[in-house]
Structure 1
Amino acid sequence: MTATPTLLAWSGGKDCLLALQRLLADPKWRVVGLLTTVNRNYSRVAMHGIHRDILLAQTAAIGLPLIEVLLDWPGSNDAYEEAHAKGLVEARMRWPGIRHCAFGDLFLQDVRDYRVRQLGRDNWRAVFPLWGEDTAALSRRFVSEGHRAMLCCVDTQQLDAAYCGREYNTALLDELPPGADACGERGEFHTLAFGGPLFAEPLKLRRGESVLRDGRFQFTDFLLDDAPPGSTRLDVRG
């Protein structure tokens, strides 16, 4: 059986890492590259606020090429979709015949439907290797298999800000309040993956400052350990 080439939408967090692991283990698929939306103004991964240099370190450690979808801030959803479509064109130029893009989504049907529609307009198909999995079990598997991640963003309307900056491990999972999804699928938190079985070596990170944005979202900055202190400021818009 010939493996079907696919991109993987890469946020830098744990769910896309697990999606990558699942795809790599399935002979049906061949992951050829990662696709990431980057805030052009602040050189950070959109939503998660991860520094671009950390993103590049992740992809180097994982060993996959990266296509960056660059967005201006502030920007509209139409601008996002136009930039995303350009990213798909670039992917087709690099890997002729590719028509699939995978996502780490777990159970939000409206998000899945949007991705299917968005890709369908460009004659692409969406793939969801983790769809419908029990998130409590999935979170424990992530930890038990040795994957490593930090919480880089917390929605303080759903979870206490003190969780931001902590490692995503058994202790944290044990402390999550009732009703909080263990994988943060409802937006309770976002993560930064930095090590584990898919990394050639773990990223060396140091914790930076924490800030509250829009009166709601707590972000904790992480820097590569070889970055000079004071070289960046935490601004994660977009």
Structure 2
Amino acid sequence: MNQRKKALFNWSGGKDSALALQTILKDNQFEVISLLTTINEETLTSSIHSIPIEILSKQADSIGIPLHTVLFAKDLKNYDHRMRETVEYFKKQGVTHFIFGDILLADIKTYRESKLNPLGIEVVEPLWDKSSSEIMDIFLTSGIKTKIIVTQTDKLNHTFIGKNLDRNTVNLFPNEIDICGENGEYHTLAYAGGLFKKEIDFSISEIKKIYYNIDLDNGKTKTVTYWQAEITVPTHKF
């Protein structure tokens, strides 16, 4: 019997991460020793989905794989340094592969390989090279439950925040958006079913409008606006 290769799974907390990890665990070629999530050190939320670190920890506990978090400055000035430290830390534990849940964006895959391959790490993309419609069909039969927690305001309005990503919701999507949100149209939080042993308890207390300034290659700056759920972690009284 071939020994499984040690891997680190890059965990966003959303649907693609959950589906990619479930796929990897079923395939059983890799020993996933940890989940890795990048965290905004000011807000203590994940850097893209803005999921609180408490929820990310609950996800990891429910899945049964430890969570390793890396804190970054808001302007990402320490990103490369922190990631190099992280790679070296896990290489000492025998990790040879980093796994991601990307689907279609070739520039992101190329970027990951350009950063990790020179450090002796191979990139694995279990969902890669399938169409968004194929991935959505697989997701909808995976048993994984997710809620939409972020939408780009010019793509999906605020009424989508808090909806479960199911067939009924997908049928409401405008035709012009990517069905999996590959262009940033929406992000999700995975909370139950599939690879989760117990449901993650959370609530949405508020929906905020947030703004990101993106520096373009031509030297100009583009402002992108999002609707974002304010995630509340329940406090249990004993």
> TM-score of the superposition, structure 2-length normalised?
0.89
Query: Does 1:31 pair with 2:40?
Result: no
Per-residue deviation, residues 41-77 of structure 1 (Å, max 9, x unmatched)? 111000110001001100010110111111122333x
Query: Does 1:114 pair with 2:111?
Result: yes
Query: Does 1:179 pair with 2:176?
Result: yes
In structure 2, the residue matched to 1:90 is 89
Q: How many residues align?
A: 224
Query: Does 1:220 pair with 2:219?
Result: no
Query: What are the ranges of 5 or more consecutive residues in structure 2 without an aligned counterpart?
Result: 212-223
Secondary structure of the equivalent of 1:121?
helix
Contact map agreement 1:140 1:170 (CA 8 A) in 2: no
Query: What are the ranges of 5 or more consecutive residues in structure 1 without an aligned counterpart?
Result: 229-238
In structure 1, the residue matched to 2:159 is 162
Structure 1 Cα separation of the partners of residues 210 and 7 of structure 2? 35
Measured after TM superposition, the shift of residue 173 of structure 1 is: 0.6
Given the superposition, is the C-alpha separation of residues 38 and 227 from structure 1 closer, same or farther in structure 2, using an over 3 Å criterion?
farther
Structure 2 Cα separation of the partners of residues 83 and 188 of structure 1? 28
Q: Which amino acid aligns with 1:90?
A: Y
In structure 1, the residue matched to 2:22 is 21
Secondary structure of the equivalent of 2:27?
coil
Per-residue deviation, residues 153-212 of structure 1 (Å, max 9, x unmatched)? 111132223222221111111111112112111111111110112111011111111111
Kindly indicate whether structure 1 or structure 2 has the higher relative contact order, using CA contacts under 8 Å at least 6 residues apart. 1
In structure 2, the residue matched to 1:67 is 68
Secondary structure of the equivalent of 1:177?
coil
In structure 2, the residue matched to 1:193 is 190
Structure 1 Cα separation of the partners of residues 38 and 75 of structure 2? 14
Query: Does 1:211 pair with 2:211?
Result: no
Measured after TM superposition, the shift of residue 227 of structure 1 is: 6.6
Structure 1 Cα separation of the partners of residues 225 and 56 of structure 2? 25
Structure 1 Cα separation of the partners of residues 12 and 207 of structure 2? 20
> TM-score of the superposition, structure 1-length normalised?
0.89
Q: Which amino acid aligns with 2:133?
A: A
Query: Does 1:152 pair with 2:146?
Result: no
Q: Among the aligned pairs, what percent are the same residue?
A: 29
Secondary structure of the equivalent of 1:216?
strand
Structure 1 Cα separation of the partners of residues 114 and 156 of structure 2? 31
Given the superposition, is the C-alpha separation of residues 157 and 227 from structure 1 closer, same or farther in structure 2, using an over 3 Å criterion?
farther
In structure 2, the residue matched to 1:54 is 55
